[in-house]
Chains A and B, each alone.
Chain A
């Protein structure tokens, strides 16, 4: 019994190895498509634990993104990692109160992709998301801040199309990510953080599902080829709405994106790119 099992594992391992490694006459290269972007725009923030009013102001975000065709099936699967830090500030309607929001978020996803006619590429797949931050209202005494944290699995999708404008390559891309199931932190309706500090930690973690925790992080970008790198410009819509313990939180921002992107290859010193080398981009 033992020998057949080992044989089967060895055979499976060999098959996977054949699938993952380039053959002698066909070298596969998987460049990492990376981007560093800055988003600047407006924001609307409301958190009823702090105030029933909506605060409007600005939002700024710095993000890093990395996409790559996956090793086990580079034509069909791509991975995506992104991390971003957001800061927002808003004022109330009459301008005598302000609110601050800070957030750090990251996600990792793998997407099945399809190359469609007319040079369209689309991909969709599962994602893991994590975020932490706080909303701070300096006007408040014992309830000045609402901490935010979430861990979730969700879905992400993208669509790209490469085209040329006056001979310059432009890659248009729509990307969106949303959590579907997870857990998130929220204090109870009238609970002070003083009570949490005293040791009462019950009822702080809640199930996140689309009924009570909704988030869409959507970008529409155009990468314009400039020499060996690309200029990324675009639009980002960040939408978050949650309601738990009768506390509603809503954050909506619309931002202009500018950044640098490019595809990067890591080559060993001795290796060469032969005419038969095939480069598989994560994006198109």
Chain B
């Protein structure tokens, strides 16, 4: 009996390891972590083709900088510089002492937004805050809604209250400058108050395998109007954008631009149309990167940003800003009132 059990356990112990499907394993030294980082991006990053990036070449160049005795800070610097080659604001390497961040997508451009100018000179601080948002009515009878982030959302009841409050206004300005994004599913509750029928708003395409061209057929997705008895706003709308309008806010801009009553005013948005995935290295560092491409309703990528409507590209005049004027906001008011 005992021999039989030992034999059985031996057979099981021989069978089980060979029954495993293989998983890549890496050393925990600098080389192993570097290789893991390169493989994760090689297999999952979604914009190699759009950005014409030769990842093998980049990998080879930076691999030469890896040394077995380098410190964590030195390894981070090499990896961080390598990730910068992706020119992607959604790609970050997170360590206990630093997070890598590619900034040039916004730092190379004028900021085009100063919250204090609007709060002080246009509203004299008399606006209504609701969650992360605030709203008010400008003297020209134009409503203004500040949407600083899509990390937060409002419910239909909140939105209906806001729209009933501004119902007598002639036009609406939605300011998403400096909105760095947030949750994609928080875009729909706002867009749903500007559409009257089910609307194609974009496509989503995911990777189907590790090769750089392994992508699924773009899947169309639609937004529905806000449920009855919601207020659906059909008067003119201006959406204010700058280069720091990114990710989910970039998606919001691309969708609103589709609507006939909407003009995008300001600067080209910052892009960030790749929905990020998370993974990690053997040493526990976290890596986030664009992995799933969101396309606009025409099937075009918006990774490079969404351009303003024709005739609506405008920057803030720094001199006017010193005098308390937001020339992008002024341009929007003028455009809406002359429509």
Q: Does B22 contact A (CB under 8 A)?
A: yes
Q: How far is the CB of A281 from chain B (nearest CB, A)?
A: 19
Q: Does A189 contact B (CB under 8 A)?
A: yes
If A141-B288, A188-B216, A239-B16 touch, does A51 touch B206 (CB 8 Å cutoff)? no
On whether the beta carbons of A97 and B278 are closer than 8 Å, the reply is no
Segment at the interface with B among A7-15, A25-33, A191-199, A225-233: A191-199
On whether the beta carbons of B8 and A143 are closer than 8 Å, the reply is no
CA distance A140 to B22 in the complex (A): 23
Question: A139 contacts which chain B residues (CB < 8 A)?
Answer: 278, 280, 286
On whether the beta carbons of A142 and B204 are closer than 8 Å, the reply is no
On whether the beta carbons of B208 and A96 are closer than 8 Å, the reply is no
Q: Does B58 contact A (CB under 8 A)?
A: no
Segment at the interface with B among A61-69, A71-79, A212-220: A212-220
If A92-B280, A92-B284, A220-B5 touch, does A52 touch B208 (CB 8 Å cutoff)? no
Q: Does B36 contact A (CB under 8 A)?
A: yes
Q: Does A134 contact B (CB under 8 A)?
A: no
On whether the beta carbons of B19 and A241 are closer than 8 Å, the reply is yes
If A94-B283, A174-B8, A195-B219 touch, does A189 touch B21 (CB 8 Å cutoff)? no
DSSP majority for the A interface?
Answer: loop
Taking a contact as CB atoms closer than 8 A, the residue among B22, B36, B209 that contacts A248 in the complex is: B22
Q: How far is the CB of B294 from chain A (nearest CB, A)?
A: 10
Q: Which of B20, B22, B24, B28 has the most CB of A within 10 A?
A: B20
CA distance A97 to B282 in the complex (A): 11
Q: Does A200 contact B (CB under 8 A)?
A: yes
CA distance A174 to B7 in the complex (A): 13
Residue of B nearest to A172 (CB): B1
Residue of A nearest to B217 (CB): A202
CA distance A220 to B13 in the complex (A): 14
Q: Does B128 contact A (CB under 8 A)?
A: no
Q: How far is the CB of B94 from chain A (nearest CB, A)?
A: 9
Q: Does A167 contact B (CB under 8 A)?
A: no
Q: Does B291 contact A (CB under 8 A)?
A: yes
Question: A137 contacts which chain B residues (CB < 8 A)?
Answer: 278
Q: Does B46 contact A (CB under 8 A)?
A: yes
Question: B291 contacts which chain A residues (CB < 8 A)?
Answer: 142-143, 190, 192
On whether the beta carbons of A143 and B277 are closer than 8 Å, the reply is yes
Q: Does B276 contact A (CB under 8 A)?
A: yes
On whether the beta carbons of A93 and B28 are closer than 8 Å, the reply is yes
On whether the beta carbons of B208 and A190 are closer than 8 Å, the reply is yes
Q: Tally of A-B residue pairs with Cβ under 8 A?
A: 129
Question: A50 contacts which chain B residues (CB < 8 A)?
Answer: 279
Question: B277 contacts which chain A residues (CB < 8 A)?
Answer: 140-143, 190, 192
Q: Does A245 contact B (CB under 8 A)?
A: yes
On whether the beta carbons of B207 and A51 are closer than 8 Å, the reply is no
CA distance A194 to B221 in the complex (A): 11
Q: Does A54 contact B (CB under 8 A)?
A: yes
The contact size tier of chain B is 35 or more
On whether the beta carbons of A194 and B28 are closer than 8 Å, the reply is no
On whether the beta carbons of A195 and B206 are closer than 8 Å, the reply is yes
Question: B280 contacts which chain A residues (CB < 8 A)?
Answer: 51-53, 92, 97, 139
On whether the beta carbons of B36 and A250 are closer than 8 Å, the reply is no
On whether the beta carbons of A216 and B28 are closer than 8 Å, the reply is no
Question: B288 contacts which chain A residues (CB < 8 A)?
Answer: 141
Interface string of A142-184 (1 = CB under 8 A from B): 1110000000000000000101000000001010000000000
On whether the beta carbons of B23 and A54 are closer than 8 Å, the reply is yes
Q: Does A48 contact B (CB under 8 A)?
A: yes
Taking a contact as CB atoms closer than 8 A, the residue among A190, A246, A248 that contacts B46 in the complex is: A190
If A188-B208, A190-B206, A192-B292 touch, does A53 touch B282 (CB 8 Å cutoff)? yes
On whether the beta carbons of A199 and B221 are closer than 8 Å, the reply is yes
Q: Does B210 contact A (CB under 8 A)?
A: yes
Residue of B nearest to A141 (CB): B278
On whether the beta carbons of A48 and B23 are closer than 8 Å, the reply is yes
On whether the beta carbons of B210 and A246 are closer than 8 Å, the reply is yes
If A52-B24, A139-B278, A189-B209 touch, does A94 touch B219 (CB 8 Å cutoff)? no
CA distance A52 to B175 in the complex (A): 41
CA distance A180 to B279 in the complex (A): 32
Taking a contact as CB atoms closer than 8 A, the residue among A96, A198, A212 that contacts B221 in the complex is: A198
Known: A139-B280, A172-B1. 17 other contacts (CB 8 A): A48-B23, A52-B279, A54-B23, A95-B284, A96-B284, A139-B278, A140-B277, A188-B216, A189-B208, A190-B206, A192-B277, A198-B204, A200-B219, A239-B16, A241-B19, A248-B23, A250-B20
Those 4 A-B pairs whose CB atoms lie nearest each other, nearest first: A190-B207, A94-B284, A140-B278, A243-B21
A-B contact pairs, 30 of them (CB 8 A): A52-B36, A53-B280, A54-B23, A93-B28, A93-B283, A94-B28, A94-B284, A97-B286, A139-B280, A140-B277, A141-B277, A142-B278, A142-B291, A188-B207, A189-B209, A190-B277, A191-B206, A191-B292, A192-B204, A192-B275, A192-B292, A194-B185, A200-B219, A214-B19, A218-B12, A220-B9, A239-B19, A241-B21, A248-B21, A252-B16
